[in-house]
Homo-oligomer: A and B are copies of this chain.
Amino acid sequence: MYDILFEHATVVCCDESMQVLEDTCVGVKDGKIAYLGKERADAARKINASGKVLMPGLINTHTHIPMTLMRGLSDDTDLQDWLQNHIFPTEDRLDDGIVKAGVDLALLEMIANGTTSFSDSYFFMQTVAESVHKSGLKANLARSVTNFGQEVKLLDFYSTREEVELYDTWHKAEDGRILVDAAIHAEYTTSESLWRELRAFALEKNLVLQVHLSETRREHEECIEKYGKTPARLFYDAGVFDVKTLAAHCVHVTDEDLALFVEKGVSVAHNPMSNLKLASGIARVPEMLKRGINVGLGTDGVASNNNVDLFEEIKLCACLHKGVSGDPCAMSAAQALRCATYGGAKAQGREHECGTIALGMDADLILVDFSAPHLIPCHNPISNLVYAARGSDVCMTMVRGNILYENGVFLTLDAERILHDFKTNGTDRLFSS
């Protein structure tokens, strides 16, 4: 007997062939996908999924979720002005209580919009981990480290020590629902002794390493000026890419950089909306895919997006690369959807547990209601998911068979209290003086 049986579902598997199964049953048992086929069977709960699409939960490969506190705080300004005069001064006033308020709000938003796993690098990550733990979501969490030229010894530098503590407390918590990654913030905010320490730590512990890479032209070119090589070549030469790396943005990478990604199996977190909004540019994703580089999608922090609706990123990803290349076949709907699911799972080192619908995988599933006018007719479920759907069409979000959200109701988090606390513990305190 299954714990849950979805009946009459249109199943978009997001496997390599992007199979779509019509009128199909999916059985969930002990948190896993235990059945996939036409036979109906006994289950503790049956969910009639007629008129709905069942698909793998979306995976956000690059975000900084406490930044909900700064949503819309400042837009349409130069990146340096935005950072120096708005974001950094606000971040200086953060504390654990304020961050918790921002994180809990972000978790509500992600869950309601069909995200089941995400990769995050920021500060106050113990607080982030505690909230993720309660929420039931999966996450790869990293203490984002900068050293600005200071000499770093892993346990003698405050932020690498926080990273080690995060690892000790949370890595593989809940049987791997939470993983701890390492994170070098970016080339321009760090230096060699940090890379060496985090590289050794990540290799020893077998962690993924997150890094911002060639996001802006300035960053990319100043690196070449300073070191005589691109950020990607610099990290490659320092052995950083010996670690399984998830490189965010990669807007200005060269062909040689891409070859290094291929050689080292570096995954890319593509953040098309954030890159547009901050005027960073457009990453060459079709070229990356052609070379076999794994690409996941990300929203980035909401201060530069300003939401965490991955359906927006999927549609933009599928359309943007056609528009700039002049080639309507530059990126297919199926490719964009696969990036947001399997591509994300692979970037997190989770491709054997989630990102596709197949027997034995974790039941990290979302149900998308196709009954609203904008999803009618359904000539092609993948087309409707990519080009017409929105996060608000998600009617159920499940991680490991545990339903986190259903028909507007949050089942693991107390939404009312979180919305109340966001103001009293979050923005009221952060922006009081």
Residue A69 is within 8 A (CB to CB) of chain B in the complex: yes
Residue A112 is within 8 A (CB to CB) of chain B in the complex: yes
Residue A131 is within 8 A (CB to CB) of chain B in the complex: no
- Bound Cα distance A374, B275 (Å): 20
Residue of B nearest to A325 (CB): B279
Please indicate the chain B residues that have their CB under 8 angstroms from the CB of A328 in the complex: 76-79, 82, 277-279
* Interface 9-residue window, one of A55-63, A122-130, A379-387, A395-403: A379-387
Distance to closest chain B CB from A334 (angstroms): 8
Cβ-defined contact, A78 with B329, below 8 A: yes
Please indicate the chain B residues that have their CB under 8 angstroms from the CB of A372 in the complex: 109, 112
Contact with B along A320-334 (1 / 0, CB 8 A): 101111111111110
A78-B329, A422-B376 given as contacts; is B72 within 8 A of A384 (CB)?
yes
Cβ-defined contact, A384 with B279, below 8 A: no
Contact with B along A32-51 (1 / 0, CB 8 A): 00000000000000000000
Cβ-defined contact, A276 with B217, below 8 A: no
Shortest 9 CB-CB distances between A and B: which pairs? A276-B323, A72-B383, A392-B392, A306-B387, A276-B319, A109-B373, A279-B328, A279-B322, A108-B373
Cβ-defined contact, B76 with A332, below 8 A: yes
Cβ-defined contact, B377 with A71, below 8 A: yes
Which residues of A259-295 have CB atoms within 8 Å of chain B's CB atoms? 273, 275-282
Cβ-defined contact, A422 with B377, below 8 A: yes
Residue of B nearest to A79 (CB): B328
Distance to closest chain B CB from A408 (angstroms): 10
Please indicate the chain B residues that have their CB under 8 angstroms from the CB of A113 in the complex: 374
Name 10 interchain pairs, CB-CB below 8 A, sorted by A.
Answer: A69-B377, A72-B388, A73-B379, A75-B387, A105-B376, A109-B374, A276-B322, A307-B387, A308-B374, A309-B390
Determine how many copies of this chain the complex contains. Answer: 2
Please indicate the chain B residues that have their CB under 8 angstroms from the CB of A390 in the complex: 309, 390-392
Cβ-defined contact, A105 with B373, below 8 A: yes
Please indicate the chain B residues that have their CB under 8 angstroms from the CB of A423 in the complex: 377
Cβ-defined contact, B71 with A388, below 8 A: yes
Contact with B along A80-105 (1 / 0, CB 8 A): 00100000000000000000000001
Cβ-defined contact, A333 with B76, below 8 A: yes
Residue A419 is within 8 A (CB to CB) of chain B in the complex: yes
Please indicate the chain B residues that have their CB under 8 angstroms from the CB of A383 in the complex: 71-72, 75, 306
A306-B384, A419-B373 given as contacts; is B279 within 8 A of A326 (CB)?
yes
Residue of B nearest to A112 (CB): B373
Residue of B nearest to A378 (CB): B72
Residue A193 is within 8 A (CB to CB) of chain B in the complex: no
Residue A345 is within 8 A (CB to CB) of chain B in the complex: no
Which of B273, B323, B388 contacts A280 (CB under 8 A)?
B323
Contact with B along A404-431 (1 / 0, CB 8 A): 0000000000010001001100110000
Distance to closest chain B CB from A309 (angstroms): 7
Residue A305 is within 8 A (CB to CB) of chain B in the complex: yes
Residue A316 is within 8 A (CB to CB) of chain B in the complex: yes
Please indicate the chain B residues that have their CB under 8 angstroms from the CB of A378 in the complex: 72
Which of B82, B387, B393 contacts A277 (CB under 8 A)?
B387
Residue A302 is within 8 A (CB to CB) of chain B in the complex: yes
- Bound Cα distance A70, B388 (Å): 12
Which residues of A298-352 have CB atoms within 8 Å of chain B's CB atoms? 302, 305-309, 312, 315-316, 318-320, 322-333
> A273-B315, A279-B322 are known contacts; what are 8 more A-B pairs with Cβ within 8 Å?
A71-B384, A71-B388, A75-B380, A276-B320, A316-B316, A376-B422, A377-B422, A377-B426
